[in-house]
């Protein structure tokens, strides 16, 4: 059996395991009530450890530092290091295998109660981000597609930052984002997921951010994006992703 086959089979067995199936009712409830769910022990330890080693090596070789503001989300800041889809494909067996796994799609569909599709824009399928310096932040924004699944590899204590804050059912108008108004209206929910877990957020309709780091510390994640059936037929502006991952966008530009 090849390594690739054993990885795929391990992912399949995990999401169809008795333990993962047993936690589905609670995950469905959480998502239904809050548009957010944390999936504990997202993959078995051996796969998590493999992915973490691969990810650290990819960051060592390919990370690009970003420090800019994004107009489409009201000029909110992005200050962190990231790596794009192409670097992850070249340097990781695990990260792309998760995105391709039919078992993952089935598991997510059982949580959200509708079809889950790969997104139609390759550069945004999966990316990795690392906040690691005091002041690093992923400012308020919406995602281009409905769902974000964020796998946590490193995260500091909640007092240092790196938490997820979000306002559900906050419509995005790129011409008039009204960030301050929507945050003031709230309510603002805060979540601080655990290492090894992954959280699923309805990120296309939830205004959300990663809170600033108050000290040098690490928050290292992989973010997967998924689409609804409706997403596949509507026009999508990828300007914010183009700004954050210009090399990947240029590679796939038609």
pLDDT tens digits, one per residue of 148-194: 999 999 999 999 999 999 999 998 888 899 999 999 999 999 999 99
Integer Cα distance of 26 and 206 in angstroms: 21
pLDDT at 246: 73
pLDDT at 5: 54
pTM of the model: 0.94
Q: Who wins on pLDDT, 159 or 244? A: 159
Model confidence at 249: pLDDT above 80: no
Q: Are 130 and 178 in contact (CB under 8 A)?
A: no
Integer Cα distance of 48 and 69 in angstroms: 32
- Please state the domain extents for the chain: 3-252
Q: What is the mean pLDDT of residues 118-136?
A: 97
Question: Strand 117-118 vs strand 64-70: parallel, antiparallel, or unpaired?
Answer: unpaired
pLDDT at 250: 58
Q: Are 225 and 141 in contact (CB under 8 A)?
A: no
Q: Which residues contact 138 (CB under 8 A, 6 or more apart)?
A: 78, 80, 129, 131, 209, 210
Q: What token pair was written down for 112?
A: 């959200």
Model confidence at 253: pLDDT above 60: no
69-122: pLDDT as tens digits: 988 888 999 999 999 999 999 999 999 999 999 999 999 999 999 999 999 999
Given pLDDT bands bounded at 50, 70 and 90, which one contains residue 240?
confident
- Average pLDDT, rounded, for the chain: 93
Model confidence at 4: pLDDT above 70: no
Q: Who wins on pLDDT, 241 or 189? A: 189
Angle value at C-alpha 234, between 70 and 250, nearest 5 degrees: 50
pLDDT above 70 covers a percentage of the chain that reads 95
193-218: pLDDT as tens digits: 999 999 999 999 999 999 999 999 99
Q: Which residues contact 253 (CB under 8 A, 6 or more apart)?
A: none
Model confidence at 1: pLDDT above 60: no
The CATH architecture that domain 3-252 belongs to is Sandwich (2.60)
Model confidence at 52: pLDDT above 70: yes
Model confidence at 2: pLDDT above 70: no
């Amino acid at each position: 059996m090849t390594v690739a086959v054993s990885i795929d089979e391990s992912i399949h067995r995990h999401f169809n395991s008795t333990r993962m199936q047993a936690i589905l009712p609670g995950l469905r409830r959480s998502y239904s009530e809050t548009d957010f769910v944390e999936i504990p022990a997202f993959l078995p330890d051996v796969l998590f450890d493999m992915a973490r080693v691969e990810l650290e090596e990819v960051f060592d070789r390919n990370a690009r530092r970003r420090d800019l503001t994004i107009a489409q989300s009201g000029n909110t800041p992005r200050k962190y290091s990231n790596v794009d889809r192409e670097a992850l494909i070249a340097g990781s067996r695990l990260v792309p295998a998760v995105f391709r796994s039919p078992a993952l799609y089935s598991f997510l569909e059982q949580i959200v109660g509708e079809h889950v599709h790969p997104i139609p824009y390759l550069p945004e399928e999966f990316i990795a981000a690392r906040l690691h310096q005091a002041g690093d932040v992923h400012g308020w924004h919406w995602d281009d597609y409905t769902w974000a699944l964020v796998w946590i590899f490193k995260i500091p204590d909640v007092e240092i930052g790196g938490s997820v804050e979000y306002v559900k059912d906050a419509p995005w108008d790129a011409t008039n984002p009204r960030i301050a108004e929507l945050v003031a209206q709230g309510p603002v929910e805060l979540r601080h997921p655990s290492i090894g877990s992954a959280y699923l957020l309805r990120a296309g309709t939830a205004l959300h951010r990663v809170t600033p780091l108050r000290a040098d510390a690490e928050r290292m994640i992989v973010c997967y994006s998924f689409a609804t059936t409706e997403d596949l037929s509507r026009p999508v502006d990828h300007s914010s992703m183009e700004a954050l991952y210009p090399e990947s966008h240029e590679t796939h530009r038609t």
